[in-house]
Amino acid sequence: MNKILLMILQRFGLGLLTLFVVSVIIFIGVEFLPGDIAEALLGQGASPENVAALRKKLGLDVPAHTRYVNWWLNVIQGDFGTSLANGRDIAELIRVRLANTLFLAVVAASVSVPLAILFGILAALYRNSLYDRSVNIITLGAVSAPEFLVAYVLILYFSVTLGWFPSLSNVDADTSFFERLHRVTLPAVTLTGVILAYMMRMVRASIINLLASAYIEMAHLKGMPKLRVIIRHALPNAWAPIANIIAISLAYLVVGVVVVEVVFIYPGLGQLMVDSVSTRDIPVVQACSMIFAGTYILLNLTADIVSICTNPRLLHPK
């Protein structure tokens, strides 16, 4: 058991290291963008003196590496700083946006994950049947369509023509749970369409891969019914690959949400980040990217832990 704990700690440490590297890359990346927030705020007609004054006020006259170190020192203490654009507390700013984004992601995930596993298993079970082929074609189509296109098509039919759902998904603190659910339906469906196809195909592939193993043939030769072979003999060995597929898809869900949020004007983290990049609001961009990167790392860590914990060799050592 200690061995498993050690492996998990190791993965966790690597995750933190990745997070650090990501923060450096983001910081440098934003530094390279032409212009800074002082120019963005004051507009093109501003005099160089005014710009310099604003820079000094915002602390931008300090060299980049000092700013970076200071930023880290604050983050470690739990302080993400204040937005350069409007002076609001970033932690507060992000809290609401993050909650919105997670809500959308969770809704999309809770629909797509079970469906993907079910469709994937069925497709593997009835390989090359009519069902398998039609599911393949449909999902392949869904994967190929860019998500903004899917989003606009959905808006066209379900909100413009039929009027079932709103085309803008703006929510605020007062919106009730069911009202929220109603408003995020279209963005959630868009996201589901994109990741469902991918996940389902990967589940299908990993199950088919497993079905070629000797112990599956043995289960057939023992006269086990087809369903039992899948559920009892294939699935327990499939959790590791499936967990990986789900983790990557969910990570994509959280990150890929940017485009969808912009299309539906949904007040989530993606929107916030896009806005902040255009105003060169470095602390906000930095905070958002850290959250995105953290989510990615956390999900992959979870997948790792699931693969470790479902491996009988590690679970039941000699």
Partner 1 sequence: MNNRLLEIRNLEIDGESDEVWHEIIKDLDLDLDRGEVLGLIGESGAGKSTLGLAAMNFVRPGCRIRGGTIRFDGQELTAQSETTLRKLRGVRIAYVAQSAAASFNPAHQLIDQFSEIPVVHNVKNRQDAEADAKGLYRRVLLPDPDAIGYRYPHQVSGGQLQRAMTAMALSCRPDLIIFDEPTTALDVTTQIEVLTTIRDIVREFNTAAIYISHDLAVVAQMADRIMVLRYGELVEEATTREMMSDPKMDYTKSLWAVRSFKKETETAATEINPVVKVDNVTAGYAQEDILKNVTFEIHRGQTVAIVGESGSGKSTAARVITGLLPPRLGNIQFNGQVLPKSFKARNKDQLRHVQMIYQMADTALNPRQRIRNIIGRPLSFYLNLTGQKREERIRELLSLIELEPDLYIDRFPDELSGGQKQRVSIARALAAEPEFIICDEVTSALDQLVAEGILRLLDRLQREFNLAYMFITHDLATVRAIADNVVVMLQGEIVEQGPKTDVFSPPHHEYTELLLSSVPEMDPDWLNELITHREKHGVMASTSTS
Q: How far apart are CA 38 and CA 49, in angstroms?
A: 11
- The CB density around residue 132, as the number of other CB atoms within 10 Å, is 17
Considering only CA atoms, give the Rg of the chain. 24
Region near partner 1 per CB under 8 A, out of 86-94, 134-142, 173-181, 227-235: 227-235
| Residue among 167 and 237 whose Cβ is closer to partner 1 | 237
Does 225 sit near partner 1 (CB under 8 A)? yes
| Position among 215, 227, 265, 278 found at the interface with partner 1 (CB under 8 A) | 215
- 98-127 residues in contact with partner 1 (CB under 8 A) are none
Region near partner 1 per CB under 8 A, out of 197-205, 245-253, 274-282, 307-315: 307-315
| Position among 61, 89, 179, 217 found at the interface with partner 1 (CB under 8 A) | 217
Region near partner 1 per CB under 8 A, out of 112-120, 183-191, 231-239, 282-290: 231-239
Q: How far apart are CA 27 and CA 21, in angstroms?
A: 10
Residues β-bridged to residue 89: 82
Region near partner 1 per CB under 8 A, out of 143-151, 208-216, 287-295, 299-307: 208-216
Does 133 sit near partner 1 (CB under 8 A)? no
Q: How far apart are CA 205 and CA 227, in angstroms?
A: 17
Instruction: Give residues with Cβ within 8 angstroms of 131, minimum separation 6.
Output: 122, 123
Residue located via tokens 């868009």: 190
| Position among 224, 298, 301, 309 found at the interface with partner 1 (CB under 8 A) | 224
The number of residues that bind partner 1 (CB under 8 A) is 23
Does 219 sit near partner 1 (CB under 8 A)? yes
| Position among 10, 70, 209, 213 found at the interface with partner 1 (CB under 8 A) | 213
Inter-residue contact 14 to 300 (CB < 8 Å)? no
The candidate with the shortest Cα–Cα distance to 263, out of 104, 115, 112, is 104
What does the buried/exposed string (b/e) look like for 44-65 if buried means 16 or more CB atoms within 10 Å of the residue's CB? eeeeeeebeebbeebebeeeee
Does 3 sit near partner 1 (CB under 8 A)? no
DSSP, collapsed to helix, strand or coil, labels residue 255 as helix
Name the region of 183 (left: φ>0; alpha: ψ -120 to 50; beta: rest). alpha
Does 220 sit near partner 1 (CB under 8 A)? yes
Output the smallest distance, CB 98 to partner 1, in A: 38
Does 136 sit near partner 1 (CB under 8 A)? no
Region near partner 1 per CB under 8 A, out of 45-53, 184-192, 232-240, 254-262: 232-240
| Position among 13, 222, 231, 278 found at the interface with partner 1 (CB under 8 A) | 222
| Residue among 148 and 215 whose Cβ is closer to partner 1 | 215
| Position among 35, 78, 87, 312 found at the interface with partner 1 (CB under 8 A) | 312
In Å, how far are 12, 243, 300, 305, 313 from 5, measured between CA atoms? 10, 19, 16, 10, 15
| Residue among 57 and 232 whose Cβ is closer to partner 1 | 232
Region near partner 1 per CB under 8 A, out of 53-61, 160-168, 219-227, 254-262: 219-227
Inter-residue contact 292 to 18 (CB < 8 Å)? no
Residues β-bridged to residue 82: 89
Q: How far apart are CA 188 and CA 147, in angstroms?
A: 11
Which residues lie near partner 1 (CB under 8 A)? 212-215, 217-225, 228, 232-233, 236-237, 310, 312-313, 316, 318
